[in-house]
């Protein structure tokens, strides 16, 4: 157990992030042999996620080692931090040496703002597709988009599909299949409303209003 890690993986934790964006892939990737995970933010103080939970980073932007994989998720609070120069510089710097540059949900907006998606296709949460396109990124609507070493997942729950895809790239299909089995990832969504195309325009409009109603809680998250 004292072997040096095979892959060093950095997950960015920021106030107002969507916990499931990052905990989906974390659950997949933490189980792989030789993966060392860094949970990264400006300080080691607790960070409040957009579902109200407090989580602790273990690595700062300043003291983070060179990563093999960098990953950032989205969140209801992302707008408040996505132009942060320290964060964007960190992403750009890690991105210049990382083997894989990755995101889940609205996290691809951070990658684009850090200049890491020029000339690439990427996925994002359906509600962020226009914003990503405005940053000159070719938006893919697949669940997970793999374009060379950029691997990006769609909204929130797509982090699990993203994690398994990355596990397969790093460790091969059999290990990824075993991980899927251990997570009992045999999903049975109770409704067929998981994408805007399935849900239809009326429900999409209601969902946008509903999401705005979730925003006030973010005053606490910052």
Measured from the CB atom, the residue of 85 and 190 that comes closer to a second copy is 190
Query: What are the structure tokens assigned to 88, written together?
Result: 């964007």
Q: Which of residues 26-85 bind a second copy (CB under 8 A)?
A: 26-27, 30-31, 33, 37, 39, 46, 51-56, 58
Q: What is the DSSP letter of 65?
A: P
What residues are paired with 83 via a beta bridge? none
Query: Helix, strand or coil for residue 208?
Result: helix
122 binds a second copy (CB under 8 A): no
Measured from the CB atom, the residue of 57 and 95 that comes closer to a second copy is 57
Q: What is the pairing mode between strands 144-147 and 150-153?
A: antiparallel
CA distances from 211 to 157, 204, 208 (A): 16, 10, 5
Q: What is the pairing mode between strands 7-12 and 35-41?
A: parallel
Please give the size of the binding site for a second copy, defined by CB under 8 A.
70
Measured from the CB atom, the residue of 118 and 184 that comes closer to a second copy is 184
Q: Which of residues 98-117 bind a second copy (CB under 8 A)?
A: 105
What residues are paired with 40 via a beta bridge? 12, 59
188 binds a second copy (CB under 8 A): yes
6 binds a second copy (CB under 8 A): no
Query: What is d(CA 92, CA 127) in angstroms, rounded to the nearest whole number?
Result: 25
Measured from the CB atom, the residue of 90 and 126 that comes closer to a second copy is 126
Minimum Å gap between C-beta 213 and a second copy is: 7
CB contact burial 9-25 (16+ within 10 A = b; e otherwise): bbbbbbbbbbbbbbbbb
10 Å Cβ neighbour count for 215?
A: 14
Query: What are the structure tokens assigned to 145, written together?
Result: 């988009």
- Binding residue for a second copy (CB under 8 A) from 60, 143, 147, 149? 143
Query: What is d(CA 199, CA 114) in angstroms, rounded to the nearest whole number?
Result: 32
Identify the active-site residue in 23, 67, 104, 105: 105
Active site residue 64: no
Minimum Å gap between C-beta 118 and a second copy is: 25
Minimum Å gap between C-beta 91 and a second copy is: 21
Q: Which positions are annotated as active-site residues?
A: 105
- Which residues form the interface with a second copy (CB under 8 A)? 1, 18-20, 23-24, 26-27, 30-31, 33, 37, 39, 46, 51-56, 58, 105, 125-127, 143-144, 154-158, 160-161, 164-165, 168, 173-178, 180-191, 193-196, 198-199, 203-204, 206-207, 210-211, 213-214, 216
């Amino acid at each position: 157990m004292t072997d040096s890690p095979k892959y060093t993986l950095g997950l960015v934790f920021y106030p107002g992030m969507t916990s499931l964006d990052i905990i989906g892939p974390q659950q997949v990737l933490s189980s792989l042999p030789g993966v060392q995970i860094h949970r990264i933010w400006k300080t080691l103080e607790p960070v409040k996620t957009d579902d109200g939970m407090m989580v602790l980073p273990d690595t700062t932007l300043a003291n983070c080692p060179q990563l093999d994989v960098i990953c950032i998720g989205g969140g209801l609070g992302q707008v408040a931090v996505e132009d942060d120069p320290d964060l964007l510089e960190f992403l750009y710097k890690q991105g210049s040496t990382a083997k894989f540059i990755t995101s889940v949900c609205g996290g691809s907006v951070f990658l684009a703002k850090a200049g890491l998606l020029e000339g690439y296709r990427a996925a994002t949460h359906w509600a962020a597709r226009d914003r990503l396109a405005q940053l000159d990124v070719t938006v893919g609507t697949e669940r997970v988009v793999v374009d060379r070493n950029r691997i990006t997942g769609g909204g929130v729950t797509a982090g699990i599909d993203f994690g398994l895809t990355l596990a397969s790239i790093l460790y091969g299909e059999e290990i990824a299949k075993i991980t899927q089995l251990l997570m009992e990832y045999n999903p049975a969504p109770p409704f067929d409303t998981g994408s805007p195309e399935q849900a239809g325009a009326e429900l999409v409009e209601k969902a946008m209003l509903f999401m705005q109603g979730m925003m006030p809680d973010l005053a606490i998250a910052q």
